[in-house]
Structure 1
Amino acid sequence: MKIAFIIPSLANQGPVIVVKDLINELIKKVDHIDVYYFDENPELKLACTTTRISFREKIKFDDYDIIHTHMLRPDLYIWYHSKSVNRAKCVSTLHQDIFQNLKSSYNFLIAAIFEKIWIESLKSKQAIVTLTHTMRNQYAKKIKVSKLHTIYNGRPFFQFDELKEIDEMDKKEIIKLKKKYKIIGISALLTKRKGIAQIIMALPYLNDFALIVIGNGKEKDNLVKLAANLKISHKILFLGYRLEAIRYFKFFDFYAMSSYSEGFPLSLLEAGNASLPTLCSNIPIFKELFSKNEVSFFELDDVKSLVNSIINLEKNSEMFSQNIYKKVNKLYSVNNMSENYLLLYEKMLK
């Protein structure tokens, strides 16, 4: 079996990380893999040949059995060149709630327009993968149900001693904070959709807790101002973007997923792999992936609920730590993910 993956770039971002993990497993099981991408920002190295292309440039589509696209431009690319694809079977993975993600990044009008365009482009594919059943049910209203398949993301298991040490200056700042407080950690692109302001608003009621935020984004300035207005800047460390943010997880006592919407958060799997007691917003996707004995849920935009949820995490930290680790290692491994994709590819070729 020969597979081509088409992605927007080689940036260190969720969908590309998923492709990297998938390739690392599939390359042992298939004949050949190539990756094509559009933007020149090669942060990640992949275990196969990678080629930069332009949108109008045709690759040799029918040299491949499977063409697997991720994100908008690659989906539009296959749609644009659909008349040149004869033998290869095309599959796309939807990594997010399209409308909510675009609305958060742009506005309602842009989200509404581009969701329609994106979904129209998906109709040229033989299969569309959703990351959860919640997402599948949502798109079943807009895409032919027989084309929809659910495959959970997975991440490689790791040991902290296998990872590189963090920057020494970061380490000093973190240790200084840990001497006074228990640390809640977050690693995310800083957008309103991630709901991090909720955690900051709860901190004044949590005397023993501080927050470390890894990541950049257009919401960062607002979060910094909010912390200053609440007079809790001394309890929050904004580290900015860090490559391999997972290296910092060993300094956290707890992890927070405060999102208003999500596709399938890789950092949540990494927190589970690190045995971190984790706080989650009470949204359908998180409730599908984990039970109330595996993560501590809170109601969106309810500070009291969030505070109580963190107290619950602290009180039952050993239970949450063990249960989330077991769940992630059992269901959300990179091996499970790759096996499920391979089964889908084989089914498409039959």
Structure 2
Amino acid sequence: MKIAFILPKLVNEAPVIVVKDLINQINEEVTLIDVYYFDDIKEVEFACNSYKISFFDKIDFDKYDIVHSHMLRPDLFVWFNRRKVKTARCISTLHNDIFKVLKDSHNRFLAYIVEKIWIKSLNSFDSVVVLSENMKFQYSKSIKKANMSVISNGRDLCKINRIEIDQVDLEKINLIKLKYKIIGASARLKKIKGFSQVIEVLPYLEEYALVLIGDGDEKDNLIELATKLNVLDRCLFLGYRIDGYRYLTFFDFYAMTSYSEGFPLGLLEAAQNNIPVFCSDLPVFRELFNEKEVSYFELDNTNSLKESILMLEKSKKEFSNNLYEKVVQKYSLKNMGDNYLNLYRKIILESN
């Protein structure tokens, strides 16, 4: 089996990390894997050849059995070249709620227009993978021409080489840890991630501090809010760090406070490090985890978040053990790799 993956850029973000992990998992099971990308950014290395292309370059799609694209530009690239594809089977993985993510990063009007175009492109594919049954239900009315499959993301930190943490970061974290219990997260700092809710609850939880690993356009707003609420001394914004999961060992609790989420890679990483997680009450999270595995809170309800954290504090060992077992059994990298290989084989078989 020969596979081409197409990505917008090789940045250290969830969709690219998923592809990297998938390639590592299936590499020995296939004949050839190539990665194509558009932007001249290369934060992530792959265990295969990677090629920078422009949107108007031509590639030999039929050199491959499977062409697997991720995110908007790669999906549009495949769509624009669809008539040239004779034998290869085209697959896309949809990682997020299109409208909500684009509305957060741009505006409602642009989100509406781009979603329509993106959905039209997805209908040209042989198969579209979504990350949860909730996403499948959401898009089943608009993606009708492509077969839809649900494949959950997987993560396996045991196979990842851990790198030493910067000494300056270590000193800053340890200074906070002497006085407070640390609520932490590693993610892009965007409004949709909901970290402002943690800052808003800190005045009511004087024993806790917040440590965020990541950067983004919401960072200044979070600092301004923390200053306004007089809790900036209990907030540490370390900025972007490669392999942010390295910092999990310092967290007492993990904050999964998103207003929308495709599949929570950060939560899987926290679970594999036995970090208890409090989680916004979203349908996708309810599908994946029960109330004995994560502590839920109602979005934009400070009292609910406070109670969720305090409940987690009382039973953190039980929560972390239950969550660890769920993730290891159901959301492993092996499961993800096997599910994608089975899908690839099924689509190839059906085309013959």
TM-score range relative to shorter protein:
over 0.9
What is the Cα-based RMSD across aligned positions, in Å? 1.1
Deviations 1:128-178 (A, max 9, x none): 000011000000010117611000000123289x51121000000100000
Cα shift readout 1:179-238 (whole Å, capped 9, x = no counterpart): 000000011111110011001000000011100011111111000000000001111100
The equivalent of 2:269 in structure 1 is: 270
- Identify the residue that residue 144 of structure 2 maps to in structure 1: 144
Is it true that 1:128 corresponds to 2:128 in the alignment?
Answer: yes
- Give yes or no for contact 1:157–1:333 (8 Å, CA) kept in 2: no
Provide the secondary structure at the position in 2 that maps to 1:95: coil
Contact 2:124 2:146 (8 Å CA) reproduced = no
Question: 1:345 corresponds to which residue?
Answer: 344
Unaligned runs of at least 5 residues, structure 1:
none
Aligned equivalents of 2:162, 2:181: Cα separation in 1: 23
Q: Which runs of 4+ in 1 moved over 3 A?
A: none
Who is 1:190 aligned against?
189
Return the alpha-carbon distance in structure 1 between the equivalents of residues 286 and 166 of structure 2. Answer: 35
For 1:27-42, what aligned pairs fall within 5 Å after superposition? 27-42=27-42
Of all paired residues, the percent bearing the same amino acid is 54
* Alpha-carbon separation, structure 2, partners of 1:47 and 1:17: 12
SS of residue paired to 1:287: helix
Q: Following the alignment from structure 2 to structure 1, what is the Cα–Cα distance between the partners of residues 280 and 140?
A: 24
Opposite residue 215 of structure 2, the aligned amino acid is N
Structure 1 distance, partners of 2:251, 2:176, is 11
Structure-2 separation of matches of 1:35 and 1:74: 11
Distance, in Å, in 2 between the alignment partners of 1:103 and 1:91 is 25
1:116 CA displacement: 0.3
Q: Which residue of 1 aligns with 2:111?
A: 111
Give the aligned partner of residue 198 of structure 2.
199
The residue number in structure 1 matching 2:284 is 285
Partner of 2:7: 7
Match of 1:317 in 2: 316
Maintained 8 Å contact 2:126/2:146: no
Show CA shifts across 1:90-124 (max 9, x none). Answer: 00000000000000000000000000000000111
Give deviations 1:5-53, integer Å, cap 9, x for gaps: 0001111111000000000011110111111000111111100000000
Tell me the equivalent position of 2:68: 68
Which amino acid is the alignment partner of residue 295 of structure 2?
S
Provide the TM-score with structure 2 as the length reference.
0.98
CA deviations over 1:259-292 (Å, ceiling 9, x no partner):
0000112111000111100000001111111100
- Cα separation, 2, equivalents of 1:338 and 1:258: 28
Query: Is contact 2:75–2:121 with CA below 8 Å preserved after alignment?
Result: yes
Instruction: Describe the shift of the 1:79–1:159 C-alpha distance in structure 2 as closer, same or farther (beyond 3 A).
Output: closer
User: What is the CA–CA distance in structure 2 between the aligned matches of 1:58 and 1:269, rounded to whole Å?
Assistant: 37
| Whole-Å separation in 2 of the counterparts to 1:309 and 1:92 | 36
Q: Kindly indicate whether the alpha-carbon contact (under 8 Å) linking 1:11 and 1:42 is maintained by their aligned counterparts in 2.
A: yes
Q: Secondary structure at the match of 1:128?
A: strand
Amino acid in the other structure paired with 1:51: Y
What TM-score, normalized by structure 1, do the two folds share? 0.98
Structure 2 unaligned blocks of 5 or more: none
